Amino acid sequence: MIPPPPYRQLLTILCLLAWPMALMAQEAALENIPLTDAPKYSISDIILKSLREGRVINTQPEAVRRSDVLKVLRVRLGEAPFAGDIETDASNLVNHYHYFKSVSAELHKDGAKTARLTFICEDPPVASLNFLELIDGRWQMNPEGSFEARTALGIAPGDLFSIERLDRELRERLFDSERFIDIKSEHRYAAEGVHVTVKMVREQMVDLVVLSGVSAETTSDVIASSQELVDYLGEDIGETTRVSDPKRRLGSKGNILFTSKFAGRHTIEMIRRSVRRHYVQKGYPDVDMTWHMVDVPVKPDGDKKWNLSDAARANHPELNSDQVDAVLETAIPGQKVLLLTVHEGPHVEIADIHFDGIESLLRAPGMPALEPGSLPSSYWPLWYAMPWTTREDSIKRALFQVMQNGPSVFDAHPDFNIDAASQDAAFIERHLRSAGWQDVKVLLKAIRYNNDRSRVELTYDLKTGPLYVVTHVGVRLKSQPPPGSPDGTAPEPLVASVEEIWEKLDMDGVESETPLEMGDGPASKTWLAVPPAPYNENLISGNPFDPGDQGAQQRIEALFGKHGYSRIRFEATPIYQDAGASIDGLTPELASLPEGVLAVRLAIDIDQGHKYRIGEIDIAGNLETKTSVILRQLALTPGELFNVDEMRRAENRLRRLQWFEQTAPGAGVQVVPNYTDAISPDDNDAYIVNITVHLVEGSTKSINFTAGYSPGASAFVSLSLAFRNFDLFDFPGFTGAGQTLELAIEPRVAERQRYSLSFQEPFMFGYPVSGSFSLSLTDQDRGPFTVGERGGRVSFGYRLMRDLSAFLSYENFINEISDVSASAPFELRREEGETHFTAISVEGIYSTIDHPFFPTDGHRLTFEYQLASELFGGEVNMWRMTAGAKQAFLLHQIDDTRDVTLSLSWVGIWQDIYGDTDRVPLSRRLFLGSIDPGRPTTNMRGFRRSGVGPSAGDDAIGGNFLMNSTAEVTLPVQPGFFWLVGFVDVGELVPVIDNFDPSGITASFGMGFRMQVPLFPAPLGVDFGWPLFDQPGNRRQVVAVNFAFGFG
C-alpha cells in the first residue's frame, strides 16, 4: 500500500537522515587499532576529515586538495606502513608542509588483515592576502586596484583558508565582472597560515597584438577566414605608425594583427576561436593558443651594457626565445604587446574512413542515392565503372560525397577537420534518410591516430534499420460547395484529375485494380509504384537543402493555384508495413520485397477548397514612385483569380526594374497575400485575398563614369547620366513615372568616341503601349580603318501579356568606313565610304527574369526580325534574325540577401542580303570576342575584342552567322556591392550559315568580379579569361581584363 503524499515526503526525509547515521554507526562499529600495530595491516583506504571548532566533521578539509595530500604521505594504499610512518605523516602535514594547523590520525580495522586510516585535519587560516597587477611588464602592487579587489572578494586574513571558496569568489566576484583578462591565485603554506597572492591582468589598450608561431601568409588567411575578426580589426589590419622600419611591421616569427585596440578576454577568445577554426579546417586538430601581456622594456639612461633582448627575457621569464624574438622584431621599446602564441601540433590527414554496418546498404537494391554522383570531371563516373571497383567501394564513395571530410578522386587523403567529423555523421544520416532509411542512426564511433599523429582513421557506426519503399499510392480528391451556399448545395467541380496528381508525383507505375484503404474510405484511384521508390519526406515537401527540388506538394499546389484554388488542403499519410507482415497487391514481377525492405503505402488526400479572387492591392513604401506606376508594373487586377505563381512573377517584374534597394530582403520588393473570409462581390463562388506590396526604394538616378581597357585591344572612357524612374513633368525631382532617360558622352581616348541620347515611356496615355527614341553618334578606330555611325531609332511596343511584349521599330543610320590604311587587306579597302542603312524591326520578348544583372529565377526568350530595304529610304537590302534565351537557377541560398546562382544564356544571329545588294556592309556584320559594351550579348572572354571569327590577316572582317552561349555562376560576397563570378563562353562565328561546323567552336573559361559603384546604373566588371578550345585564325589573348557593365 502506497502512503498518502504527505507521509511519502516524511518518509523520504527520514531516509535521507538515516543514511549518514547508518554510515557513522558502521564506522563506529569498526575496531580501533593502536598506531603502533599499523605494520600488521594493509591500508585499505585513507580518509581525510575536518576539525571545526573542536568537532570532527565528516567532510574533506578545504585548505589543500586530497591528491596533493596523498602525494606527500609515506603511507601507501594497499601496503602495510612501516613503524612510525603514520605519526611522521601527521607531523609533516603540520610542521613541514604547513598544510594544516593540526592533524591527528586514527586506524580502524575493517578486515582480517586490512585497516582504514583516517587523518583529522584542522584547516589553517589566511595569514595574508595580497593583490598584484601586471604593470609595465612586472607584477606590482596597485593600491587602488587592491582595495577594489579586496572589497569585492569577501575574504580577509584570519578566515579559514579554502581553495574551493577562493576560486569561486575570484570567478564570481572579480572575473565575471568582465574587467579582467585573466585572474589567477598563488598560495604559500607557512606556520602562521596561508599567504595568498592574487595576480590580475586588467582589460586594457595595447599598442600591438602579435601572433607568433605562424607565417605571414597564414596570418592573412586566418583573418580572412573569420568575418567576425575582419569586422573587429577594421582598417587597422597590419598597420602601425609606431614602427618606422616597414620591414619590421611583419616579421618572420610574429605578425602584427592590429594596433591601438582594446584587449579584453572576449577579444582574446574571439581571436583564439578564429585561429583554431582556421587551423582545424587545414588539418591541425591539436592546435592551441596561449597569450601573454608583454611590456617592451626601455633602455635606462647611462646603462651602456643594457641589452633589449636580455632585458625582455629577464622581465618575462615565462617566454621562450622564439616568443621574445617575435615581440622584439615587431615592436619598439615602450610598447605594450599582447602576444598570442599558436601551438600548431601535427598536421593530420585522413588515412581511411570505415563504416560499421555498411552490410545493410550492400543488401539494398541498386539506388541512385547509393551510387556516386557526378563531379566537375568526366573522370569521376569513369572511375566507378572500372572492373576492380566493388559495390562497397561505390557506396562508400557515394557517402564520401556528402561528407566534409570525405576523400575524393582528386584528394585521396584530405586534411582532417576534427569539428567536421561529428557533423559528417549528421550529413550521412540525412542522406540515407532521404534514400529511404527513415530509422537510420549514424554515430562517430572511433577516431584512431597513428603513432606520430600524422594520419587518422575514422569509424562511423551505421544503424540503418529497414529500407522503406513506396509500393502503393492512393489519391483521393474532393471539393467544397461554393462559399456562403445553403446546406445541401453540390460541391464545385474538380479542376484537376487524379491522373494529373499522379503525374506531379514524378513516379513510374501502373494502375491498381484494388483501391487503397485510407482510413475513412477508399482512394479514388490507386497506383503501384514500379519499381518501388525509396520513401522520404522530401518526396512530398521537397529537399530544404536543394532550392531546385520543389517536392510533389508544391507542384500539386501550383496545379490547383492556376485555377484560383491557392489554399488547398493537402495531406500525405504514409502507411508503414509492420516487420513480418505481408503486402497484398504487389505486381507479379515483385511477388515479395527483399529482406530488410518494408513497404510504405502513400495515401494522398486533397481538398481543393475554395477559389480566391484578388481584392485590394495596397502599396507601401513608395515614397517617390507613383502608385499607378507600381500597379501597372505589378499587372495584377482586383477581381481576377488569385494565383501564387502569378504573384511571384509580379514580384520579379518589379525587381528587374532596378528601382528598389538591392541589399534589402527580397531586393527591396516583397508581395504578401492576406487571405480573408469575405466573399468576392465579383464572384459569389470565391473568397477575397488582399495583397500588400512592401517596397524599399533605392537610387534610380546615376552618374556613370566608366573606364575600359583590354590589353592590346582597346581603351575607353565614358560619362553617362541615367534616370531609370524618370518623370518628365515632375519638376524639380523628375522621379516617379517609370520613364527612362539616358545621356552618354564618350570622348575619344584611344579607339572610339560615342555620344547618345535616349528616352522611353513604358505606358503611353494610360495604355500598355510603350514608346522610345534614341539618337547616337559613334566613331571607332579599329586600326587599319575607322568606322562611324550617326542616326537614330524610334520604337513602339505593346504588352500582349503580363510578361510578353511586342515591339515595332524603325531605324535610320549613316555608316561610314574611313581612314583605311593603304596596307589594309582588300576586304577592308573595298568597304571605304558611306552607307545609308534603314530598317524596320519586329521583336517579341517574354521575360520572367527577376533581376537584369544577377537573376536568381526565371527565364527570358527573345526573337527579332529586321528588314533593311531601299524602300525605307536607305541603300542596303538585307535581313537579320536574332533569337535568344536565358535561364536562371538558384543553386544555394546563403541568407535573405545572398544567393548563389547559375545563369545559362544563348543567342543565335543569322543575316543575309537580297535584291541588288552584293554583300553585307562591314558596319553591319557580326563580331565575336572580348566584352564590348556595344554588344554585351555576344562575347568570348579570353580573346581580343572581335578576336574570334573571320579575319584578313590580323584584322577582323566579321561574319553573318553567329552562335554564342554562356554559363555563369555568381557568388555574392557583399550583398548589393561585390560579387564573384565564374564563367564558360562557347561560340562560333562564320561568314555564312553553310560554313557552320560544330567542330569549329571556340570556348573559354575564367573568373572575375562585379562591383556596384554608387551612382552607377549597372555593375562594373572585371573578367580574366583563358581560351579553352581555340581555332586557327583567332586572335588569342591569354588573359583578358575587361572593365565594362551590363553583363545581364
Are both 750 and 843 inside the same structural domain?
yes
Which of 655 and 90 is assigned the larger pLDDT? 90
**Are 49 and 118 contacting, i.e. CB atoms less than 8 angstroms apart?**
yes
Q: Which of 1012, 964, 958 is nearest to 987 (CA)?
A: 964
Q: Residue 374: what pLDDT?
A: 38
Model confidence at 1038: pLDDT above 60: no
Task: Check whether the bond before 732 is cis (ω within 30° of 0).
Answer: yes
Phi, psi of 716 (to 5 degrees): -155, 155
At residue 242 the predicted structure's pLDDT band, cuts being 50, 70 and 90, is very low
| Cβ neighbours of residue 778 closer than 8 Å, sequence gap 6 or more | 752, 753, 754, 755, 756, 788, 789, 790, 934
Same domain, 208 and 292: yes
Query: Could you tell me which residue, 725 or 861, shows the higher pLDDT?
Result: 861
* 21 is a domain residue: no
Q: Identify the pLDDT of residue 846.
A: 93
Q: Tell which wins on pLDDT, 1028 or 238.
A: 1028
- pLDDT of 619: 92
Question: What would the mean pLDDT of 316-327 be, rounded to a whole number?
Answer: 84
CA 980 from chain centre, in angstroms, equals: 14
Secondary structure (3-state) at 161: coil
Model-level pTM? Answer: 0.59
Q: Which helix (H) or strand (E) holds 224?
A: helix 216-224
Q: Across 190-194, 528-532, 550-554, 762-766, which has the greatest mean pLDDT?
A: 190-194
Out of 34-38, 543-547, 942-946, least confident range: 543-547
Q: What is the pLDDT of residues 424-480, one digit of tens each?
A: 999 999 888 888 888 999 999 999 999 999 999 999 999 988 888 888 899 999 999
Q: What is the CA radius of gyration of the chain?
A: 41
Beta strands in 543-590 (DSSP E): 569-576
559 and 427 within one domain: no
Does residue 59 sit in the same domain as residue 166? no
Torsion of CA 668, 674, 679, 681, to 10 degrees: -20
Same domain? For 444 and 472 the reply is: no
**Residues with Cβ < 8 Å from 630, sequence gap 6 or more?**
619, 622, 654, 693, 695
Would the pLDDT of 1018 be above 70?
no
Q: Is 329 helix (H, G, I), strand (E, B) or coil?
A: coil
Rounded-to-integer distance, Cα 397 and Cα 401, Å: 6
- Going by pLDDT thresholds of 50, 70 and 90, the confidence category of residue 252 is very low
pLDDT of residue 999: 85
Q: What is the mean pLDDT of residues 66-84?
A: 92
In this structure, are 572 and 624 located in the same domain? no
In terms of average pLDDT, the best of 70-74, 649-653, 659-663 is 70-74
pLDDT confidence of residue 96:
94
Instruction: Check residue 874 and give its pLDDT.
Output: 92
pLDDT of residue 713: 46
Is residue 69 predicted with pLDDT exceeding 50? yes
Q: 8 lies in a domain?
A: no
Distance CA 237, CA 491 (A): 71
Q: Average of pLDDT values for 496-504? A: 90
Query: Does 538 lie in the same domain as 476?
Result: yes
The CATH number of residue 619's host domain is 3.10.20.310
Q: Above 80 in pLDDT, residue 852?
A: no
pLDDT at 537 over 90: no
Same domain? 599 vs 622: no
Q: Which of 400, 428, 463 is at the close of a domain?
A: 463
Q: How far apart are the C-alpha atoms of 716 and 288, rounded to whole Å?
A: 53
Match 546604373 to its residue by C-alpha cell.
1017
Based on the domain organization, do 728 and 850 belong to the same domain?
A: yes
Name the CA dihedral angle for 411, 412, 416, 417, rounded to a multiple of 10 degrees: 50
Average pLDDT over residues 172-183: 79
pLDDT recorded at residue 133: 84
Residue 251 pLDDT class (50, 70, 90 cuts)? very low
For range 9-28, the mean pLDDT: 54
Determine the structural domain holding residue 326 and report its residue range: 203-343
| 21-34 mean pLDDT | 62
pLDDT digits (tens, 9 = 90+) for 382-433: 444 555 567 788 788 888 888 888 887 677 888 999 999 999 999 999 888 8
Please report which helix (H) or strand (E) contains residue 646, including its range. helix 644-655
Residue 477's SS3 state is strand
Confidence of residue 237 (pLDDT cuts 50, 70, 90): very low
* CATH number of the domain where residue 879 is located: 2.40.160.50
Least reliable range by pLDDT among 84-93, 141-150, 706-715, 873-882: 706-715
The SS3 assignment for 654 reads helix
Confidence of residue 871 (pLDDT cuts 50, 70, 90): very high
Tally of structural domains, the chain: 7
Q: What's the rounded mean pLDDT across residues 757-786?
A: 88
Average pLDDT over residues 286-313: 84
Establish if 13 belongs to a structural domain. no
- In tens, the pLDDT along 943-974 reads 887 888 888 877 788 899 999 999 999 988 87
Strand partners, 878: 868, 913
- Residue 12 inside a domain? The answer is no
Q: Does residue 76 form part of some domain? A: yes
Confidence of residue 894 (pLDDT cuts 50, 70, 90): confident
List all residues 6 or more positions away from 214 whose beta carbon is below 8 Å from its beta carbon: 222, 255, 342, 344
Question: So what's the pLDDT on residue 258?
Answer: 56
pLDDT of residue 179: 78
**Mean pLDDT score of the chain:** 82
Pairing of strands 525-534, 467-478: antiparallel
Task: Look at residue 183 in the predicted model and tell me its pLDDT.
Answer: 85
Greater confidence (766 vs 573) lies with: 573
Angle between helices 308-315 and 321-328 (to 10 degrees): 120
The whole-number pLDDT of residue 545 equals: 62
In the predicted model, is pLDDT for residue 21 greater than 60?
A: no
> Can you tell me the mean pLDDT for 534-546?
76
Phi, psi torsion values for 383, nearest 5 degrees: -60, -35
What average pLDDT does the segment 307-315 reach? 84
834 pLDDT exceeds 50?
yes
Residue 19, in any domain of the structure: no
Instruction: Determine contact, residues 171/104, Cβ cutoff 8 Å.
Output: no
pLDDT at 524 (0 to 100): 87
Q: Which of 201, 222, 243 is the last residue of a domain?
A: 201
Structural domain includes residue 18: no
pLDDT in tens, 568-586: 999 988 888 776 556 655 5
Per the model's pLDDT, the better-predicted residue between 448 and 821 turns out to be 448
Contact assessment for residue 45 and residue 33, using Cβ atoms and an 8 Å cutoff = no
- Domain end, chosen from 429, 463, 497, is at 463
Per-residue pLDDT, 290: 85
Share of the chain above pLDDT 70, in %: 83
Residues 816 and 882 in one domain: yes
Answer yes or no: do 590 and 720 share one domain: no
Q: What Å distances lie between residue 292 and 216, 289, 391, 456, 524, CA to CA?
A: 20, 10, 55, 33, 76
547 within a domain of the structure (yes/no): yes
Q: Above 90 in pLDDT, residue 813?
A: yes
pLDDT in tens, 896-934: 667 888 999 999 999 999 999 999 998 899 989 876 544
Q: Are residues 854 and 865 in the same domain?
A: yes
pLDDT, residue 932, reads: 54
Q: Mind listing the pLDDT tens digit for each residue in 727-756? A: 888 888 888 888 899 888 888 766 778 899
Banded pLDDT at 224 (limits 50, 70, 90): low
Question: 977: which residues sit within 8 A by CB, 6+ positions away?
Answer: 663, 1011, 1012
pLDDT band at 560 (very low <50, low <70, confident <90, very high): very high
